[in-house]
Amino acid sequence: MKTDLECLPCFFGQITRTLNHAGVNGDRGRGIARRAGEIVAGASLDEVPARTSTLIHRLLRAESGGDPYREVKTTYNRIALDLLPELTQLASGMPDRLEGGVRAAIAGNVIDFGIYDHIDLQRSIQESFHLELSRGSFDAFRQAVESAGSILYLCDNAGEIAFDRVLLRTLQEMKKSVIVAVKGAPVINDATLDDAAEAGMTEYAELMDNGSDGIGTLLESCSERFLHAYRSADLIISKGQANYETLEQTGDPRLFFLFKVKCPVVARALGRENGDIVLKQGA
């Protein structure tokens, strides 16, 4: 998908939100915001929005120093882990455990500080277990899981990764070999190796990072180790809207995208409503 004019206010929202998290304001904050605004002004509408956001956040981290979302990530990992027993019970109560795991994983996708200032996680859990999930897509997903010898799981956000554990445990019970991939460096509240370890992911899968600080999965900036895992996987489970933005154009049938629709641009591209839950094959 390409950048829409409606993406421009979102870019500026990301700038101010990140500077607030970094505690940068006054003349210094205005100077950084102006430089970030120049990136937005020069953005190509032919590119996916995540590429422009990547450039913006590289500048913001370099200028503000450190990881502006470190505290947020730790907080939401803790909140999500506290909710994990309730979520696990909901998923286990479904007639189909795999579908329960998918719905649990999608519920956590609301923890996205690239888009939101405030998160209603309880509401997202309830919606994820009640909104319609495409039956055709789920049947194709089940078939892909059952036939896969190797699975690559592309994570999205800290906090959300605790909810991913429900689906990963189901895959483990199905005797599937899974590699979980996170970001190679901090960007917004996307999960890194430290976040994944904090959320207990090592219990369910092998962990690796993708060697990139890109938003979504920008394959050209990922490490050779990650690319080897990507190319050799029988099935790629891709979490989050940014991964959809950056990978859907590959048309790869090994890809299954799991996310919550969180903006009108993506909603229109999919013919869905904002807030819908999505399970969609890549081809």
Give the dihedral sign, CA 261/230/211/250: negative
pTM: 0.96
Q: Tell me the angle at which helices 70-92 and 160-173 cross, rounded to the nearest 10 degrees.
A: 40
pLDDT of residue 66: 83
pLDDT at 1 over 90: no
Domain boundaries of the chain, sorted by first residue: 7-64, 70-281
Report the chain's mean pLDDT, rounded to a whole number: 96
Question: Can you give the pLDDT at residue 117?
Answer: 84
Overall average pLDDT of the 153-167 stretch: 98
- How far from 101 is each of 24, 70, 81, 210, CA to CA, in Å? 39, 27, 15, 24
The span from the CA of 222 to the CA of 214, in Å, is 9
Q: How many CB atoms neighbour CB 6 within 10 A?
A: 12
pLDDT at 283: 82
* Structural domain 70-281, CATH architecture: 3-Layer(aba) Sandwich (3.40)
Average pLDDT of the residues in 201-218 = 96
Work out the burial of residue 8: count CB atoms within 10 Å of its CB; fewer than 13 is exposed, 13-18 middle, 19 or more buried: middle
Which of 164, 158, 154 shows the shortest CA–CA distance to 103? 164
Reported as a single tens digit per residue, the pLDDT across 79-137 is 999 999 999 999 999 999 999 999 999 999 999 988 888 899 999 999 999 999 999 99
C-alpha span between 170 and 267 (Å, rounded)? 29
**Would you tell me how many other CB atoms lie within 10 Å of the CB of residue 232?**
11
pLDDT at 114 (0 to 100): 87
Residue with the two structure tokens 């078939």: 143
Is 19 a residue whose pLDDT tops 90?
A: yes
**Residues 32-88: tens digit of each pLDDT:** 999 999 999 999 999 999 999 999 999 999 998 889 999 999 999 999 999 999 999
Check: CB of residue 182 under 8 Å from CB of residue 191.
yes
